[in-house]
Chain A
């Protein structure tokens, strides 16, 4: 799904502008990471796309069609979002019921529902937990259920709205692995990953860095990463390997280029 923001401004209070005249285009079938510190307006972008919020001014085009109240339901059917808190989005009383919730709303037939639940629970490695209730699941597992729920709706666009920020390191790893494998499937789905961890943006096709409601950096991970100053000014934690490269650049030693290249490569294969 192609997403286009045209001069979008959003604020709750006029004195505190969240998004300031924002314009960008996300191409169909790509993975884009939107990163920024807390309060930079990155989650607001997700809520605007999914129609939970309305821009104060400007337009949002989805597949070249203007998003309005009238076509909201129709548009929503094509997208899914995974929120931050795994507990606050678990609607069903078991894993199976929760994956089915979205399908029930979309009037999918029962046989098809069962097929999809099986397929997508297997995809996120939760097929053994179908009858379990949320109290017996870890945060990472709950998020995986949420991902299965969104995938089951077979939507074109999947948004991860800080889906790992409330998880422990193990859960974070699980979810990142899932997002990565989704991207590598190359099934034409558009993925937007919203995060404040640079590490989680490395496998995206494109990174948008947000600060103060404006885009301060836009480009592929290898373009964005070396711009240490802007990243730091945007309140982001620069990747450890990168600081190492910076430090090593200052001194002279044998086969410097090869080593620097190797470190650079290793950042992306983390």
Chain B
């Protein structure tokens, strides 16, 4: 449960940590917009964006593991979007044709291997990589009619367009997630709140409430996860097994987790509201700030470099 990196500030002292929160918010916003205006399948620009992100990651001094953890949640999503692109995109040249001859035996073997793999997934280090290898081997293996009659015979045609677009989509999502992780890993929720508030100021007085809400949500993510873990353990000690069981049982188990979670969250929210009110917080009112935001040279450089990259992309698209 503790592998959720999103929203968890990592405390160290780096250039990126010391940067103005406004710069970080603005630059990650611009960066995300930039990612989506890159012309389709243009790996040169994607490479520039990736390089920029790599430099940023190195500057943050946050262990690479933290970033990898933030990607972990979307690995399967990425895998499937890649597979779909490869299977159904028929642009470009024909790259290879895989002729599958499905028999009961080779399909059976593939299924057994997959099931075994999933049952043992907790005990295998680097499971995802092994899963990928098995997937590729399985696709190859299905070409050979091992034993018995061929039930189904079909061709999978892989085109260059599919592979390229697949890789493009994956890299876009990857860079997108990492760029948001950079923001949350290097910015304290309070700073994020201050930054957001300052940026939203032109849009009205009440925007400070929104900023406060976001920062409190981020502040409580780790606390709520600890709480979830406690409930999980409490339920497990009373015999609920969250890993096994039929779908119907699983739904029941999830309900038994969600109900206490909701009740605890509401209680917590009410308590927190009391505590904030007692300490003089009035939503939307003027507040002084402990943190002084300093827009310095490093902010200018960072922001300008992002604007430069995006401008190049826009000019390229227009011409």
Contact = CB atoms under 8 A, between A and B. Distances in A.
Interface in A97-117: 97, 100-110, 113-114, 117
B28 to A, nearest CB: 18
Contact of B290 (A114, A149, A150): A114
Contacts of A93: 9, 188-190, 215, 218-219
A81 B274 CA distance: 10
B57 to A, nearest CB: 22
Given A88-B275, A91-B275, A93-B190, A101 B268 contact: no
A262 to B, nearest CB: 43
Interface in B1-34: 9, 11
Contact of B188 (A88, A94, A100, A110): A94
Contacts of A89: 271-272, 275
A188 B128 CA distance: 65
Interface residues of B, number: 32
B272 A113 contact: no
B134 to A, nearest CB: 38
Given A93-B219, A105-B282, A110 B275 contact: no
Interface residues of A, number: 40
Contacts of B188: 93-94, 97
Contacts of B276: 91, 101
Contact of A52 (B11, B190, B226, B278): B278
Contacts of B286: 107
A180 to B, nearest CB: 23
A133 B11 CA distance: 9
Given A88-B271, A89-B275, A134 B287 contact: no
Residue among B9, B188, B280, B287 facing the most chain A CB atoms (10 A cut-off): B280
Contacts of B36: none
Nearest to A79: B278
Contacts of A81: 275, 278
A243 B290 CA distance: 52
A83 interface: yes
A91 B288 contact: no
A73 interface: yes
Contacts of B272: 88-89, 91
- Which 10 residue pairs are nearest across A and B when measured between Cβ atoms? A89-B275, A88-B271, A105-B280, A100-B290, A102-B279, A93-B189, A97-B190, A104-B287, A93-B188, A93-B190
5 contacts: A87-B223, A89-B272, A104-B290, A107-B287, A133-B9
Interface of B: 9, 11, 188-190, 215-216, 218-219, 222-223, 226, 268, 271-272, 274-282, 285-292
Interface of A: 47, 50, 52, 73, 76-77, 80-81, 83, 85, 87-89, 91-94, 96-97, 100-110, 113-114, 117, 131, 133-135, 149-150, 153
Given A88-B268, A135-B222, 11 more contacts: A50-B278, A73-B282, A81-B278, A83-B274, A88-B272, A88-B275, A89-B271, A93-B215, A94-B190, A96-B290, A104-B287
